[in-house]
Amino acid sequence: MLYRLLALNIDGTLLRSNGRLQHSTKDAIEFVQKKDVYITLVTNRHFQSAKKVAKALKIDSHLITHGGAFIGNRLDEPLYVKRISEEKTFNIVQVLEYFNCNIRIIHERFSIGNRKKISSNLVSKMLLNSSDPLFYPIQFVESLADALIDEPVAAPKIDVYFDTKEELKEAEKTILDSFYDVDVIKVHDGKIEIVPKGISKLNGLQVLGNHLGIKLDEMVAIGDGLDDLDMIQQTGLGVAMGNAPFEVKRAADWITRSNDEQGVSYMVKEHFRKQYPIKFLNKIKNR
């Protein structure tokens, strides 16, 4: 099978546990680019953060960000964007503020969240750690609903962090029962993402594939999270990282090493070394 597109998750896949890229990963990306394979990043991160990673890898292509709600190569000219309306964003936040959770509205240009404290050290680290504050303003307020009254926001994505699994499950059920036009994606036991109905990483790949003329079975997708499951199952070659949970590994066609053990570079070089450059194959085909 000739694969024409490589889709890579960022956190837990491309990046090591310390948040850094390995030199071997950069080499692997360059290796695949020489095969004329289109490379995209498929991530829950906002566009500007994903673009920063893409720049470090010398990837200049459309990126699938906000879990599939924002796709593009430039901030001002997205290929595709879908948002939760201002009114719906406000109503969802009102419901969530009854729970013990941190809420963050993730816009492509900024983020705004509440200050509610929860005890999880992991959540605190995720909320406070931002590598690009100068390029992506982050604001925290006491009441997010009150802030939205003054300055409404149509959100591509809402991130919600919980202290307990029980609180997460109750909030997830409440949102799904109350709002028919959004989906709730469980990232792990402490986090859910609320997105417009139909939005997912897989949907983002389908949109990009239609734009490029590339079918799902001509794609390789590499990921490590539960939210990567659909794209791993539906693409031509689905790859799970060694650090992925059991459900993701079970669904994958291929399991590589972990993100701390050069999993991406190992898989990419092991597989794509067998594939001739696409331009070369097209040239032979047209003779």
pLDDT at residue 248, as a whole number: 96
Per-residue tokens: 152: 């409404």
Residue 166 burial (10 A CB sphere; 0-12, 13-18, 19+)? exposed
Helix (H) or strand (E) holding 96: helix 86-96
Per-residue confidence (pLDDT) for residue 135, from 0 to 100: 63
- 159 strand-pairing partners: 104, 193
pTM: 0.88
Q: Please provide the size of the chain in residues.
A: 287
- CB-CB contact of 42 with 280 (8 Å): no
| DSSP per residue, 10-65 | IIIIIS-TTS---HHHHHHHHHHHTTT-EEEEB-SS-HHHHHHHHHHTT--S-EEE
pLDDT at 134: 46
Reading the chain (287 residues) residue by residue, the pLDDT tens digits are 789 999 999 999 999 999 899 999 999 999 999 889 999 999 999 999 999 999 999 999 999 999 999 999 999 999 999 999 999 999 999 999 999 999 999 999 999 999 876 665 545 444 444 444 446 888 999 999 999 999 999 999 999 999 899 999 999 999 999 999 999 988 878 899 999 999 999 999 999 999 999 999 999 999 999 999 999 999 999 999 999 999 999 999 999 999 999 999 999 988 888 775 776 556 666 65
Q: Nearest 5 degrees, angle CA 253-CA 256-CA 257?
A: 160
H-run or E-run covering 69: none
User: Could you identify the residue written with the tokens 């240009």?
Assistant: 109
What separation in angstroms does the CA of 40 have from each of 59, 71, 191, 248?
Answer: 8, 10, 24, 20
Residues 11 and 273: beta-carbon distance below 8 Å: no
Q: What are phi and psi of 19, to 5 degrees?
A: 85, 10
Nearest CA among 166, 151, 191, 176 for reference residue 11:
191
Residue 174: predicted pLDDT:
96
pLDDT reported for residue 284: 63
Query: What is the pLDDT at residue 118?
Result: 66
